[in-house]
Amino acid sequence: MVRGRLLPESSKGATGSELMFTGIVQGIAKVSENVIGAGGSKLVLEFPASAMDGASPGMSIAIDGVCLTVVEVSGRASSFDVVGETIARTTLGECVAGGYVNYERAAKYGGEIGGHEMSGHISTTAEIIEISNPDGNHVLTLEVAPEWMRYILAKGFIGLDGASLTVATVNPAGNFTVWLIPETLARTCFSQRQVGDIINVEIDAKTQAIVETVEKYMEARE
């Protein structure tokens, strides 16, 4: 995917206007309420002024990278139903009132792809094991389960809490680094993250497909 290209018509979703996410986080929303029950939770978020203009029930929004459906819109507040499977696989169950999350409204046909194509379906989670600031830069080192490392390639794309980022370095032992520019820190929650925090990870679908295809080809040749 070339950064800055327009969304192709073939990518149009069922509604004809919304289709996916680009990983360009639009801002930060405040958690008003997260009521967790036996089958899931009701998550209520307060968005910045005008952020939800034109929003209505049924629309898709990525919250910390997780594709959720808007259930209700009331002024700057919007509510979402989060199913148990999503709570188990992501960090949304850890959201507490007063906390903050990244958000991105679904991309529209004809809009620019500033990051890379993302689905909002979380692959796994990663733990921040180190934060460093060499020469004034902000670098996160993250650790994931070993089985996911084969999809994480240096200079490849990865989605972290909904943000499209480039992998800087990869350690086969099970960790990788990303470098965050000041604009990313200003627009997202990454400036608040600390060592030990858990981050949602969406593996680039194209990378995963290529890696698995090559692996199957090599196995067939043995």
What pLDDT digit, counting tens, does each position of 56-69 carry?
999 999 999 999 99
Residue 54, in any domain of the structure = yes
Count of the separate structural domains present in the chain: 2
Helix (H, G, I), strand (E, B) or coil at 31: strand
Residue 72, in any domain of the structure = yes
By CB atoms closer than 10 A (0-12, 13-18, 19+), residue 43 is buried
> Of the candidates 105, 132, 162, which is a domain's last residue?
105
Mean pLDDT over 6-22 rounds to 49
Residues 189 and 137 both lie in one domain = yes
Residues 140 and 56 both lie in one domain = no
Q: Which of 17-26, 47-56, 123-132, 164-173 is modeled with the greatest confidence?
A: 123-132
- Residue 222 has what pLDDT? 73
Residues 167 and 83 both lie in one domain = no
How far apart are the C-alpha atoms of 2 and 115, rounded to whole Å? 9
- Residue 107 has what pLDDT? 80
Indicate the pTM of the whole model.
0.86
Which of 126, 136, 148 has its CA nearest to residue 195?
126
Residue 220, in any domain of the structure = no
pLDDT exceeds 50 at position 6: no
Residue 181, in any domain of the structure = yes
- Residue 74 has what pLDDT? 92
Work out the percent of the chain whose per-residue pLDDT is above 90.
70
Residues 86 and 20 both lie in one domain = yes
Residues 94 and 157 both lie in one domain = no
Domain ranges, residue 145: 124-215
CATH number reported for the structural domain that contains residue 206 in this entry: 2.40.30.20
**pLDDT band with cut points at 50, 70 and 90 for residue 15:** very low
Q: Classify each residue of 64-75 as buried b or exposed e, where b means 16 or more C-beta atoms within 10 Å of its C-beta.
A: bbbbbebeebee
Residue 117, in any domain of the structure = no
Residue 101, in any domain of the structure = yes
- Residue 112 has what pLDDT? 57
Residue 153, in any domain of the structure = yes
Q: Where are the alpha helices (DSSP H) in 175-204?
A: 182-187
